[in-house]
Chain A
Amino acid sequence: MRTDDLIDQLAADPRAIPAGAVQRRFLGLAVAAALAALVMVLAWLGTRQDLAQAMTGRMFWMKATYTGLLGLAGFWALERLARPEGVPKKALLFGALVLALFVGLGFGQWLAADWAHRRSMMMGGSWKVCFRYILTLALPGLAATLVVLRGMAPTRPALTGFAAGAFAGGVAATVYGLHCGESTMVFVGTWYTLGVLGTGVLGAVIGKWALRW
């Protein structure tokens, strides 16, 4: 085809693109990912017995804030990485700071605690399943995010996949708080963090070949 013909074809009827289209897509994805995770919690894992009471406590909201901020860092990084010339530095730095702060506080508390309590603080009653559940709850959101990204213009596939995983993982971990009754910072700092980062690594591995266009 001649280039002029192609241009005629492309310019024949350009659909208007609203400002902020990228942010809107990712916001929609966040809502969809949260709904998917919520359905899975309700239908499969069930909410924690003391949910109503827990929601009046501080720890429930600290957990949600931490994982929510990790998801927000992923969102912010994606908003940059979806563009061909986007630089995600600030977003990644923000995510690393949130993570370092929460994990640092958690381990500080843990080290200050009595020897006898340390094991139960770290392992809780659900350390074996925490990583797996968060990863599973994040899968629909991760898949949808990768599909949407394929229609955008990421030029760093592995890093973009990682950000997609952190985004979906952060959302899923926040919803997982409705099921999980663990209430120490060191547990959340360890196992929730691993769940979110694990989803990020999975996203990077898939993204490396799926995010080419």
Chain B
Amino acid sequence: MTETEAALKALMLLGLDGDAPAYRLLLSQLGGRLRVYFERRMRDAPGDVEDLVQETLMAVHTRRATYDRAQPFTPWAFALARYKLIDHWRRRKVRAAVPIDDYVEVLAAYAPEPGSAMDLDRALDTLPERQRELVRAVKIEGLSLAEAGDRTGVSEGAAKVALHRALKSLGERMRGRADG
């Protein structure tokens, strides 16, 4: 890699000084590398690869004054290629879109079961009113035990005990349903 960088840079410097054969060699060697670069990134549109190779070579030629002789050549050339690639995507309005069909199974694995929220509501309804209030306040609304106790009119300690009981019986009920 560093060897080819040194070789390409040497050719570029000769080209900048007006050496036509060296410049020609540079463009054809770079062209091969650009083809690999674009082929890897445009598997969905292999027909456009050669267009981008040519566009990039033209940019290398017309904008070669922006190459800083003190800097390596490869990053400069591939920054041009990258710009052309992004520009190509923008023009085609391809924003890395992937058909959703490919992911249906993955998405399904993460989706909540349709009935689960309803089941929870139904199970909650079977609890005594005070316990139900507590579970809603602490576990669903996220209040502290003291705040939830205030709301239902009991001390923090009593709220803690009641919540514990409520969760225990809820758990039993949900589990019972799953088994049945």
Contact = CB atoms under 8 A, between A and B. Distances in A.
A6 B59 CA distance: 12
A153 B66 CA distance: 7
Interface residues on A, range: 20 to 34
B88 interface: no
Q: Is the interface of A mostly helix, strand, loop or mixed?
A: loop
Interface of B: 15-21, 23-24, 27-28, 31, 50, 53-54, 57-59, 61-69, 71, 75-76, 79-80, 82-83, 87
A78 to B, nearest CB: 11
Interface string A1-44: 10110111011111111010110010000000000000000000
Residue among A4, A21, A84 facing the most chain B CB atoms (10 A cut-off): A84
Contacts of B71: 85
B66 A22 contact: yes
Contact of B24 (A7, A85, A153): A7
B66 A84 contact: yes
A8 B23 CA distance: 10
A16 to B, nearest CB: 4
A83 interface: yes
A109 interface: no
B64 A7 contact: no
A15 B19 CA distance: 9
Contacts of B19: 14
B20 A14 contact: yes
A83 B70 CA distance: 13
Contacts of B31: 3, 7
A3 B69 contact: no
Given A7-B57, A152-B65, A12 B76 contact: no
Contacts of B80: 84, 153
Contact of B16 (A13, A16, A151): A16
A80 to B, nearest CB: 9
B65 to A, nearest CB: 4
Nearest to B77: A84
Given A16-B18, A152-B65, A7 B27 contact: yes
Contact of B79 (A10, A15, A22, A155): A155
A61 B89 CA distance: 50
A213 interface: yes
Given A3-B50, A212-B87, A19 B69 contact: yes
A3 B57 contact: yes
B115 to A, nearest CB: 50
A3 B18 contact: no
The 3 closest A-B pairs by CB, nearest first: A84-B79, A11-B24, A16-B18
A190 B87 CA distance: 39
A17 B20 contact: no
A21 B65 contact: yes
B27 A10 contact: yes
A15 B87 contact: no
Nearest to B18: A16
A14 B24 CA distance: 9
A70 interface: no
Given A1-B54, A6-B57, A153-B59, A83 B76 contact: yes
B57 A17 contact: no
Nearest to B90: A212
Contacts of A6: 54, 57-58
Contacts of B28: 4, 7
Given A3-B57, A6-B57, A155-B79, A12 B66 contact: no
